[in-house]
Structure 1
Amino acid sequence: MSDKKRMIVSAALRVFACKGYRAASMQEIAEEAGVAKGSIYLHFKSKDELALAAISDVYDRVRRRMSELEADDGLTPRERFIRQLEAQLAVGSDNAEWIRRLWHDHASEIHEALPGFVLRIRAETADWLQRSIRSVYGEACAPYACDIALMMQGAIGEFIGYFLLGGKPLEPQRLARYLVARMDDIVAGLSGSGERPLVPGDELEELVRSLTGGCGPASRQTAIRELREQLEALRADGADTGELEEALGLLAAEAAKLLPNRVILRAMLGHVRALAPEPLQPAVDRLEREMQQM
């Protein structure tokens, strides 16, 4: 997103938070952004499209933060999961007013693409949760990972709704650690229960594929993570991987977006391929296949 578009989107979020989506006018957004009203239409065809871009931008910011935490080797799987959950909750806390107003303005009616957008976010979140649960608790918990992920997703959504829609302060760190502690209780209860899981892992994976076309942020990040792991092995052998790591980090940040810029992805992928030594080329090939499905 260009600086001009980002400035307009930021202004729109402030106006939506103050007046609500339906009451806000493009003229007010233009005045808040310090631009002529006509210049907004050079970037966005309508207020609906601008609102969708604003929602997408907020989601992309939290995905970038989660990608940064995913790449932080100094975190344990448990601490990484808590920090990523905090990042998601913090976005809700930081944007509480306009989220409340969008909700009361029947946000699902803002743009025809929004319901599908929300479904994709829900699918990606469920997939992230089940992968994180496997990472935190190990393979012993794997049969119940999808069941626990769906329970956690429901709990997260209900708590966010209670705090944000009720106008109550949301404390991301406290809520994240509380939810993970409750997840500990659920894992302990299910692990020794002998019960058959309600949702097999392949069913959730199929749902994610159907809603994302098989090429959402999770699958792109998996390919990037595999490439990064091979890169770390080369670095351990004494190879100079600094420039390649930087390029891969930029690629990961863009790929983490729900609606990434394809031109940027292709350019960054070409740069990564040019820097990658021969042993890494198969991993780059796989990443390229993921990008081509977009």
Structure 2
Amino acid sequence: MEGWLAVQDKKKQVLDAAIRCFARKGFNATSIQEIADELGMAKGSIYFYFKSKDDLLISVLEDYGEMIFDHMRELPAEAGRSPKEKLALQFERQFRFIRDHLDFMRMLLREPLTGLHPRIREMMIRLRARSQLWCASHILAIYGKPVEAYLSDAVALISGLGGQYFEALLFEGRDFDEGRLSRFLTRRLDDLVTGMIESEDKPILPPMDLARLRTIVGVTREVDGEETMLLQKVFDLITASGSEREDAVQSDLIAALSAIEEEIAKPAAEQRFLLRAMLALLRQHMPEHGLESLNQLELKLVLNS
């Protein structure tokens, strides 16, 4: 075990050195020898961990992709926030991550990486699909069924809007307040989506194939819009009736809702027991007028699990 950890640690050191070199000179202008010199190790040693410079770049991109999406995940402390607040907070973390890694991000945008290796192109396609799923799940959670017809256009619009601010940050040196910018973008999403829905214009892009995107990304399934809306409705009912129960019980119920949200995205075989246990806990304390919403949520989750 210690030997494996030592190999992983050294591999991470090589990745970090490559990131620094690529950020300074670009991928094409950086040699394996320069990365070895950055580490103070023999050039041949790098080939023990990576077969080629392309292989090294692929690992660097995968590493950065995971770091970016780590900043786009919901934090436990955000479980009780509205879908719109969660989106703004995750936007804020994205912008902060890019600001903290400006040199490397500039290199990624300036160099034609997709033509270097077939695996790099595949990875870029996977990252794009993952980003589209992330946008789509947030938009569905905020606006529900009325936005379904416009989902592809809404994802394209918010991606393009955010992309222009990313470029201003990267290439123009703009210094944004990430929190203010994220809230501004979330409000503009409101303008775009409500405008499309109210106009009843025919969508430009075809319906988004979420199942295909999930296949590309390699996930079992995502929390869909209806599930998210029902979870939010049950959360609102629980919090609204919170004064009727002890604080400890209220905390347990909110934790149960958060656990359900996490379990939904797991493979079906792993979901069933915990989902039923959390739903049973909620049922014990749900006010009478909220049972219909809880029943709808339970039916949907059980059928999909």
TM-score by length of 1: 0.68
Amino acid at match of 1:22: N
Give the structure 2 partner of residue 81 of structure 1.
87
Q: Is the 8 A contact 1:146 1:204 kept in 2?
A: yes
Structure-2 separation of matches of 1:184 and 1:277 = 35
Runs of 4+ in 1 over 6 A off after TM superposition: none
Q: What secondary structure, in the 3-state scheme, does the structure 1 residue paired with 2:45 have?
A: helix
Amino acid at match of 2:141: S
- Within-5 A mapping of 1:173-188: 173-188=179-194
Q: 1:131 and 2:137 equivalent? A: yes
Q: 2:218 aligns with which of 197, 216, 219?
A: 216
Gaps of 5+ in 1: 256-268, 288-294
- Within-5 A mapping of 1:98-247: 98-169=104-175, 171-200=177-206, 203-205=207-209, 209=212, 213=215, 215-217=217-219, 219-220=220-221, 222=223
* CA offsets 1:153-179 (integer angstroms, 9 cap, x no match): 122223322331344445533332222
Q: Is the 8 A contact 1:69 1:84 kept in 2?
A: no
* CA offsets 1:63-92 (integer angstroms, 9 cap, x no match): 223234388413221111111222222332
Structure-1 separation of matches of 2:147 and 2:19 = 41
**Distance verdict in 2 for CA 1:110–1:87, change over 3 Å:** farther
Amino acid at match of 1:91: F
- Deviating more after overlay: 105-114 vs 81-90: 105-114
Give the structure 2 partner of residue 265 of structure 1.
none
**Distance verdict in 2 for CA 1:70–1:141, change over 3 Å:** farther
Larger Rg: 2
Q: 1:56 and 2:62 equivalent? A: yes
Structure-1 separation of matches of 2:217 and 2:24 = 36
Measured after TM superposition, the shift of residue 48 of structure 1 is 1.3
Q: Is the 8 A contact 2:22 2:107 kept in 1?
A: yes
Give the structure 2 partner of residue 45 of structure 1.
51
Q: How many equivalent residue pairs?
A: 249
Q: 1:14 aligns with which of 20, 26, 37?
A: 20
Give the structure 1 partner of residue 283 of structure 2.
none
TM-score by length of 2: 0.66
Structure-2 separation of matches of 1:277 and 1:128 = 25
Structure-1 separation of matches of 2:61 and 2:77 = 25
Measured after TM superposition, the shift of residue 129 of structure 1 is 1.2
Give the structure 2 partner of residue 259 of structure 1.
none
Q: What secondary structure, in the 3-state scheme, does the structure 1 residue paired with 2:51 have?
A: coil
Gaps of 5+ in 2: 236-248, 278-300
Name the Cα RMSD after superposition. Answer: 4.0
Measured after TM superposition, the shift of residue 57 of structure 1 is 0.6
Measured after TM superposition, the shift of residue 146 of structure 1 is 2.6
- Within-5 A mapping of 1:240-255: none
* CA offsets 1:114-155 (integer angstroms, 9 cap, x no match): 223222222222222122112123333333233211111122
Structure-2 separation of matches of 1:70 and 1:132 = 17
**Distance verdict in 2 for CA 1:215–1:12, change over 3 Å:** closer
Which fold has the larger relative contact order, with Cα–Cα distance below 8 Å and residues 6 or more apart in sequence?
1
Structure-2 separation of matches of 1:35 and 1:222 = 47
Q: Is the 8 A contact 2:21 2:34 kept in 1?
A: yes
Give the structure 1 partner of residue 282 of structure 2.
none
